[in-house]
Amino acid sequence: MNILIDVRDLNDSKYVTIRGEIDVYTAPELKEQLLPISEMEKVNMIVDLRGVSYLDSTGLGVFIGIFKNVQKNHGEFKLVGLSERLERLFSITGLSEIMTIERKLEGELT
């Protein structure tokens, strides 16, 4: 499965949209795209996971590393648009306790 990653500037944030499956095969590409952003000083990174249909432990590891990098560089990291399945995965692993995670995007009514 392929992964599509789109990074754009939105106000004062780096807005990352991901579509596809995040697994052992696609995680390296995700890390390659997100790592340089996470190393920016005081970056505000928003990662939209609405288009992600699958996430395994390799993908979780990428997000943990990116989250730690953003924090180390005094930035903010937020995951948005999670499905119930992904929300449950982050909850079970305890990551929802340390990361900012929002199921709905800002401004969404449903």
Is the separation of the CB atoms in 67 and 73 below 8 Å? no
Tokens of 65: 């590393």
Whether the predicted pLDDT of 110 surpasses 60: no
- pLDDT value of position 109: 42
Place of tokens 């997100």: 34
Domains observed in the chain = 30-102 (3.30.750.24)
Q: For residue range 23-49, what is the model confidence (pLDDT) as tens digits?
A: 999 999 999 999 999 999 999 999 999
Q: What is the pLDDT of residue 2?
A: 87
Ordered DSSP codes for 94-106: TGGGTSEEESSPT
Model pLDDT, residue 46: 96
